[in-house]
Copies of this chain bind each other. A is one copy, B any other.
Amino acid sequence: MRIAELSQKAGVPVPTIKYYLREGLLPSGELTSPNQARYDDRHVQRLRLVRVLLDVGRLPIATIRDLLTKLDEPDPDVHEVLGKALPATVGTREGGDPAVLTAAHDRVSALIAQRGWLLSDDARTRHAAAEVIAAFQQVGADAEYLLEHYADAAERIAVHDLGFVARESDNESKVHAAVVGAVLGNSLLAALRRMAQEHESAKMFGIREDNCQAAEAD
Q: Which residues of A contact B (CB under 8 A)?
A: 10-12, 45, 48-49, 51-52, 54-58, 78-79, 82-83, 86, 88-97, 109, 112-121, 125-126, 128-129, 131-133, 135-136, 138-141, 143, 145-147, 149-167, 176-177, 180-182, 184-207, 211-216, 218
Contacts and interface: CB of A to CB of B under 8 A. Distances in A.
Given A57-B91, A177-B141, A132 B218 contact: no
A14 to B, nearest CB: 13
30 contacts: A11-B95, A51-B93, A79-B206, A86-B197, A89-B194, A91-B187, A114-B215, A115-B199, A118-B198, A118-B203, A119-B202, A120-B207, A128-B187, A128-B194, A129-B191, A132-B184, A132-B188, A136-B180, A139-B184, A141-B177, A141-B180, A150-B157, A151-B196, A153-B153, A154-B193, A158-B197, A161-B193, A166-B204, A186-B193, A189-B189
B118 A214 contact: yes
A212 B138 CA distance: 32
Nearest to A195: B125
A97 B91 CA distance: 31
Contact of A157 (B116, B149, B161, B213): B149
A79 B212 CA distance: 12
A112 B218 CA distance: 8
Contact of A163 (B132, B145, B181): B145
Given A52-B93, A82-B198, A83-B201, 18 more contacts: A11-B96, A51-B138, A55-B91, A58-B58, A112-B215, A116-B215, A117-B199, A118-B214, A118-B215, A129-B188, A129-B195, A132-B187, A136-B180, A145-B160, A149-B156, A153-B157, A182-B197, A185-B193
